Amino acid sequence: MPHKDFTHQPLLCVEVLTDEPTVCQAAASLASELGLKLLSDLSHVDCRFILGVDGSGLSLKDLTQPNVKPLVFSSLKTRPRHRGIDLLARAIGSKNHSIIDATAGFGHDSFHMLSLGKHVVSIERSPIVAAMLADSARRLISSRFATSMQLVCADSKKWLTQNLSSEVIYLDPMFPDRESRSALARKEDRMLRALVGNDSDAISLFSIARAVALRRVVVKRPAWAEPLEANPSMSYQGRTVRYDVYVTRT
């Protein structure tokens, strides 16, 4: 598990479930670490989310969506497929090698940056999401990437002011409501919003990131949305998303 700082928020209504004897000890340890109730069946559930534990890893089930399969990361790859230009790679810059992903979520962009040969510190403030990210990293990152990724469960605003910075700080705050209401919104995005909220502190996080980043701050936005902060130094526009770059030092 990554280093954890649980002081920023109370844990949400999530319980750990396992029905496999071979992983009972691991499930009990996880439940204890996260301060959650351990279940062996669904007969006495009084929560919205179930964090499942089995031999293949962790899964997350939203009980308000009974027809939707649990969220798992068994098919996630550390080197995503791209069609055409890799806009995230361009936004980061080929000469920049150290990155702090201050809004890691379930880790897609962190894994993407790792596949580009970068050293990535991934910060996630939700203990539940951080546990799933750590689990997917253990299973999906090959040994040649293992030393290039550090996972931290903490409030990024606090962490950035207390630790050494990096060349690039990457922010992917929760997309505005228009995106969340879209029928095309991914299952994991809906779950992430339910678990961590709407990132109402995105502006204050950006201000801290801009003050401490050694070279640039990169902010991921919907293609239709206004920049998080006016007048980015440059932008890389795609069909659905845009990367706004704010140069802090040249």
223 and 99 part of one domain = yes
Per-chain mean pLDDT for the chain: 84
pLDDT at 5 over 70: no
> Does residue 208 belong to any structural domain of this protein?
yes
Least confident interval from 112-121, 148-157, 193-202: 193-202
Please indicate, yes or no, whether residues 46 and 91 belong to a single structural domain of this protein.
no
Please determine, for residue 230, whether its predicted confidence score (pLDDT) is greater than 80.
yes
Is residue 54 scored above 90 in pLDDT? Answer: no
- The pTM of the full predicted model, rounded to 2 decimals, is 0.85
| Mean pLDDT in residue range 75-86 | 59
Domain span at residue 198?
Answer: 87-247
The arithmetic mean of pLDDT across residues 185-191, rounded, is 72
28 and 148 both lie in a single domain = no
Shared domain check, 108 and 198: yes
Q: What is the pLDDT of residues 99-115, one digit of tens each?
A: 999 999 989 999 999 99
CA–CA dist 19, 126 (Å, integer): 25
Confidence of residue 68 (pLDDT cuts 50, 70, 90): confident
For residues 4 and 179, what is the distance between their CA atoms, to the nearest angstrom?
30
**Widest distance between CA atoms in the chain:** 59
* CA-only gyration radius of the chain, Å: 18
CA distances from 145 to 20, 140, 141, 188 (A): 30, 10, 6, 24
- Assess whether 91 and 202 both reside in one domain: yes
Residue 14 host element (H or E): strand 14-17
> Does the structure show a pLDDT above 70 at 143?
no
The pLDDT, as a whole number, for residue 176 is: 66
| The two three-digit tokens of residue 102, written as one number | 């201050």
Report the pLDDT value the prediction gives residue 45, as an integer from 0 to 100.
78
Number of domains in the chain: 2
| 210 shares a domain with 156 | yes
Amino acid at 123: I
Residues 28, 34, 36, 42, Cα dihedral to 10°: -60
Q: How far is CA 82 from CA 79, 86, 89, 183, 238, in A?
A: 9, 6, 11, 23, 12
Residue 81 has pLDDT above 60, yes or no: no
User: SS3 string of 145-178?
Assistant: HHCCEEEEECCHHHHHHHCCCCCEEEECCCCCHH
